[in-house]
Structure 1
Amino acid sequence: MNIKTELDVALTNDDATTLQNSKPVIAKPTKKRSSAKAKNTADHNVQMPSHLYDTIVVGAGISGIAAAVKLNKVGYDNYIVIEKADRVGGAWRENTYPGCGCDVPSALYSFSFAPSYKWSHLFAKQPEILSYLEDVTEQFDLQQKIEFNNELINAKWDEDKHLWQLETQKGTYQAKTVIFSTGPITEPSMPKLKGIETFKGEMFHSARWNHDCDLSAKRIAVIGTGASAIQFVPQIQPLASELIIFQRTAPWVLPKPDFPLGEKGKLLVEKIPAIQQKWRGAVASSLNMINFGLRNPKFLEPVNFLSRKLLSWQIPDRQLLKNATPNFSIGCKRLLFANNYYPALQADNTHLIPYGLVEVQGNTVIAANGERHDVDVIIWGTGFEVSHPSIGKRVSNAQGQLLADLWKDSSPEAFLGTSIEGVPNAFLVLGPNILVYDSFIGIAEAQLDYIVSALMKMKSLKFIRFEIKKEVVRKHNFKLQKQLQTTVFNSGGCKSYYLDAHGRNFAAWPWSLAKLKQQLKEMNLQHYDIVH
């Protein structure tokens, strides 16, 4: 590959104007340090490696893998990926609960550059997705770029040197830029309840499933009825002697159009790639229609009516139907799909409590309505800390302020979910207000196209510092929040994880996926303060 040609990015008129108007600043030279073998020590007192990376990617989940592939494709090779675990996978490595799978069809929940013919079902299961990510890593020879068992401890910007200093498990690293690709669903949300420390049985979160815990003939309390719970509840219900489900708000659970593809089907897709391309396009078109409805709730009214009718056919018991019927418009919370959840609710050993858990007294769990049950196991299906991303606890801005401290009384905001105010030379993948009902993989790929274009411009145009302009972030988020007010997320009558404690929607993108991808096509230097 001709590296010089690949990195030779032409200036647009806007880029040229921006660079002409930017103030030249000469960076202080970086002192060379003697290299040392990285050691995993408790106090992290390791000598700083002498190598200066152009980019360090943090996390080897779907976003980190895609970042590595796209960087390699353009000949941008002075980078590494650091990963806290001993294998790739991110959320698909961490979530191993029974029944774990994707709610986006497999054809779309795969990289555009690595289609797979191995999916056993229309909707892939967790083991298959993890295997797919490992296959892609091997296919594109990414292992040599990934440092496993190397967790980020903190990342700080050095204004004098215009560099990032990353303290990790294996020492301190320097980089001109950083891509934080740790994802939005990494830190399990654990409610703080009175008396929880008095519980004597087994207790774990669905994202940290305890496979050594034998659930056979146990009295099990499940807390929460979100995306994870509707998948694992049907799997554990036949095992339990009694299954108590605490539900603060009933979710919409629609039929899942899933079916096995079979060996003949997989062989056909392998031999005729056009089938998967058409399949992928059909799925994308279907999801675009769903997104249109989410942005225009009046078009969801017939869907609400039909969904309530369908629910009444699925649950004949009047009281259970009342407890399982959502009191908000479909789409206000995340759309859920399952064919076995409602049957599990109607099993003889299942008891649905339409209230949250408020207290634990020894092995007795107490609901908000005062109902009490003795249980042996508590499983938390309470989701993730999406409004306060865990990466914020490890990253400081240019003023030395920890992002988590800035976000603690609100929620994060960014430009195109990618660039954060006050955080130079850095990008966030799958950041605030970028989610549409589509594949996380597709959204991450679009963001990474934007990020790679920025890194290429930085190399070609030889600037050393860039930071999103404050007014760009403010204007973008003002328009975004105004547009969100008419979407089902904000007007559908629910309190979802899309909304922070103040009712601000920090997660959803209020326009079409096509508009998002168009805006992420290329970095516009006029949106940034540039130093060269």
Structure 2
Amino acid sequence: MSEHVSTKILIVGSGANAISPAVKLALRGETDFRMITKDSDFGGVWHVNRYPGCITDIHVAAYQFSYEISGEWTSSHPEAREMAAYLRKVARHYGLYDHVDFNTELLGAEWDKNGLYWKVTTNAVTYHARFLILCTGFLEQLKFPELGGTEKFKGRLFHSVHWPEGYTGEGDRIAVLGTSASGVQIVPEMQKVADHVFVFQRTPMHLLPLNREVYSPDELARRRSDPDFLVKERDEKLAMFDKVAYDALFNSETPQQVAERQALIDAHRERLVPDPDLREKLTPKYLLGCKRPTRTDLFYPSLQQPNVTLIAEGAVALEEDTIISSSGQAFEVDAVVMATGFYWGGDILNRIRRRDGRTVAEHQAGHRRAHKSVSLSGCPNLFLVGGAGANGAVWNGYAPGELVPEYIFAVLDYMKDNGIEAFEVREECETEWKARTDEILSKAAIVVGGCVNYMLDESGHDMSSWPGTMRDMERAMQNFEPDHYQPIGAGS
């Protein structure tokens, strides 16, 4: 018999949205749970992203756990290593290192109809878990550009997530492909040290001011000594960002408000990019909110340095020491950085088999869905948190991990109180919730904004956004309706 590990609850993931469910389990007194992750430590995207200049573009007052508000942040927008250290500190404080198996990737999961548990295969051992919670994140599957001739290229070629240890770019001619969140952070850092940086931009982004503040010793001392201020600051930022995100997503502002907001963005660009020709290349032609806007104060100035060239088109091929643009322009380079980001979360569902033997992805046929972003028909005792679930994202990436467990625990408590071994959402409830969600989001900028983005599914629906505010999600997660679920008996 092959080796296996039995556990009541198996959590897959090691980022913020996996840490919070595990913490909340521990606080409930639950000890029979394991965590598995393909990564080597806690931290999620902040563990794997180590490229120069990697910082959070959301104010840290809002981008941290409500149960671990810290006064130790060194700036308003911490670097990746500081954010990863915070997440590891939280994991250590709540004893999660005793529950985790690192370097353990979920390869497949199937429901055992007779034993009523999930059989999870990994690159290490097999797990048998009564409950399976997938917290694999919004950004789990790397996206690579279509480049011909990669086998010919003699220089460095790597995705930004796979930044070579110790590589600084000093003295090199570097091509950076992409100007989304990672690209706009990498370019200013490479500009400082590279011989030349060639920035390939297929589509310009809406860039907002970051206004990053590095805290002085006096400010750090004040923040450490005033926890009430930290709570107040967090509450204010949450309320502000929740409204801004909702307005951008649903175009809910009046025409005058839209014009005023656009004028601020245009003024920011005009102030930092005086050259009208360059500014035109950097001006998006789609609605704000169609793509995730990025905040930076450094990208525009870096483009105007003598050792930086903006190529307003994509790259299509490589030669031995050359990269070629879609119009046939050739540039000699020593390194190519693919800052091309990720596919939207949910790839994990290609590895999960429903009770009928098909994978979730096969069954859903390009129209991703989950009841309240949490439960899947055909998958008893399985729950999704954040990016793993369709429409599980709000502007605050940490929020689902704190909010969704309340719903999961309500299901678990109901099952215990009623002697139910396996519980599964009814397919009609899953379908109805997704239909309402699609209708709400059909008017959102992501759908009608006039851009190509990674948040639309194959059927053209928004598969990423929660259909409301973060507070709406909080209320929904507090409302478990047992009649939306059905018990599943042995052999079913």
Structure 2 length-normalised TM: 0.94
**2-structure distance, mates of 1:411, 1:471:** 15
Corresponding position of 1:136: 90
* 1:81 to 1:248, Cα distance in 2 relative to 1, 3 A: same
Q: Does 1:47 align with 2:3?
A: yes
Q: Does 1:428 align with 2:428?
A: no
Listed as ranges, the gaps of 5+ residues in structure 2 are none
* 1:478 to 1:124, Cα distance in 2 relative to 1, 3 A: same
Asked if 1 retains the 8 angstrom alpha-carbon contact of 2:207 and 2:265, the reply is no
Corresponding position of 1:314: 272
Secondary structure at the residue paired with 1:154? strand
Task: State the structure with more CA Rg.
Answer: 1
Listed as ranges, the gaps of 5+ residues in structure 1 are 1-32, 34-45
Secondary structure at the residue paired with 1:237? helix
Corresponding position of 2:177: 223
**1-structure distance, mates of 2:428, 2:347:** 26
Deviations 1:81-135 (A, max 9, x none): 1223332111111011111111211121111111111100111211111110111
% of aligned pairs identical? 29
* Residue identity in the other structure for 1:75: G
Secondary structure at the residue paired with 2:131? strand
Asked if 2 retains the 8 angstrom alpha-carbon contact of 1:487 and 1:510, the reply is no
* 1:204 to 1:139, Cα distance in 2 relative to 1, 3 A: same
Corresponding position of 1:304: 262
Corresponding position of 1:418: 374
**1-structure distance, mates of 2:488, 2:351:** 25
* Residue identity in the other structure for 2:28: V
Corresponding position of 1:63: 17
User: 193-202 vs 246-255, which deviates more?
Assistant: 193-202
**2-structure distance, mates of 1:301, 1:486:** 19
Paired residues for 1:28-47 under 5 Å: 46-47=2-3
**2-structure distance, mates of 1:197, 1:522:** 54
The number of residue pairs the alignment matches comes to: 483
Corresponding position of 2:199: 245
Corresponding position of 1:367: 325
Asked if 1 retains the 8 angstrom alpha-carbon contact of 2:424 and 2:488, the reply is no
* Residue identity in the other structure for 2:232: K
* 1:411 to 1:98, Cα distance in 2 relative to 1, 3 A: farther
Secondary structure at the residue paired with 2:83? helix
* Residue identity in the other structure for 1:145: H
CA RMSD of aligned residues (A): 1.8
Q: Does 1:354 align with 2:308?
A: no
Corresponding position of 2:33: 79
* 1:504 to 1:196, Cα distance in 2 relative to 1, 3 A: farther
Secondary structure at the residue paired with 1:261? coil
* Residue identity in the other structure for 1:61: G
Residue in structure 2 matching 1:382, options 340, 346, 357? 340
Structure 1 residue 269, shift from structure 2 partner: 2.3
Structure 1 residue 383, shift from structure 2 partner: 0.8
User: 440-449 vs 522-531, which deviates more?
Assistant: 522-531
* Residue identity in the other structure for 1:68: A
Corresponding position of 2:424: 467
Deviations 1:263-294 (A, max 9, x none): 33232222221101100011012102212322
Corresponding position of 1:508: 465
**1-structure distance, mates of 2:360, 2:330:** 41
Q: Does 1:520 align with 2:477?
A: yes
Structure 1 residue 392, shift from structure 2 partner: 2.4
Structure 1 residue 179, shift from structure 2 partner: 0.4
**2-structure distance, mates of 1:503, 1:248:** 21
User: 305-314 vs 280-289, which deviates more?
Assistant: 305-314
* Residue identity in the other structure for 1:525: P
**2-structure distance, mates of 1:183, 1:165:** 21
**1-structure distance, mates of 2:85, 2:488:** 43
**1-structure distance, mates of 2:139, 2:296:** 21
Residue in structure 2 matching 1:112, options 46, 50, 66? 66
* Residue identity in the other structure for 2:300: Y
Asked if 2 retains the 8 angstrom alpha-carbon contact of 1:454 and 1:522, the reply is no
**2-structure distance, mates of 1:183, 1:435:** 10
Structure 1 residue 411, shift from structure 2 partner: 4.8
Deviations 1:408-427 (A, max 9, x none): x6252212221123222101
* Residue identity in the other structure for 1:482: E
Deviations 1:286-339 (A, max 9, x none): 102212322215443321123123212211112111111111122221121011
Corresponding position of 2:451: 494
Deviations 1:336-377 (A, max 9, x none): 101111011111111111111122233322212222212111
Asked if 2 retains the 8 angstrom alpha-carbon contact of 1:449 and 1:522, the reply is no
Q: Does 1:179 align with 2:137?
A: no
Secondary structure at the residue paired with 1:259? coil
Structure 1 residue 435, shift from structure 2 partner: 2.0
**2-structure distance, mates of 1:205, 1:322:** 28
Corresponding position of 1:152: 106
**1-structure distance, mates of 2:467, 2:188:** 34
Asked if 1 retains the 8 angstrom alpha-carbon contact of 2:210 and 2:297, the reply is yes
* Residue identity in the other structure for 1:416: K
Asked if 2 retains the 8 angstrom alpha-carbon contact of 1:253 and 1:338, the reply is yes
Deviations 1:386-438 (A, max 9, x none): 16x3312432221222334446x62522122211232221011112112222x
Asked if 1 retains the 8 angstrom alpha-carbon contact of 2:209 and 2:295, the reply is yes
Secondary structure at the residue paired with 1:198? coil
**2-structure distance, mates of 1:301, 1:530:** 52
* 1:242 to 1:502, Cα distance in 2 relative to 1, 3 A: farther
**1-structure distance, mates of 2:242, 2:343:** 27
* 1:406 to 1:209, Cα distance in 2 relative to 1, 3 A: farther
* 1:377 to 1:405, Cα distance in 2 relative to 1, 3 A: farther
Q: Does 1:340 align with 2:303?
A: no
* 1:450 to 1:244, Cα distance in 2 relative to 1, 3 A: same
Deviations 1:48-98 (A, max 9, x none): 34x4x2211112221221111101111222211122333211111101111
**1-structure distance, mates of 2:122, 2:242:** 41
Structure 1 residue 181, shift from structure 2 partner: 1.0
**2-structure distance, mates of 1:354, 1:406:** 40
Deviations 1:172-215 (A, max 9, x none): 22111100111120221112322222222101111111134341
**1-structure distance, mates of 2:207, 2:57:** 11
Structure 1 length-normalised TM: 0.87
**2-structure distance, mates of 1:84, 1:313:** 44
Asked if 2 retains the 8 angstrom alpha-carbon contact of 1:300 and 1:330, the reply is no
* 1:457 to 1:483, Cα distance in 2 relative to 1, 3 A: same
* Residue identity in the other structure for 2:349: G
**2-structure distance, mates of 1:197, 1:411:** 36
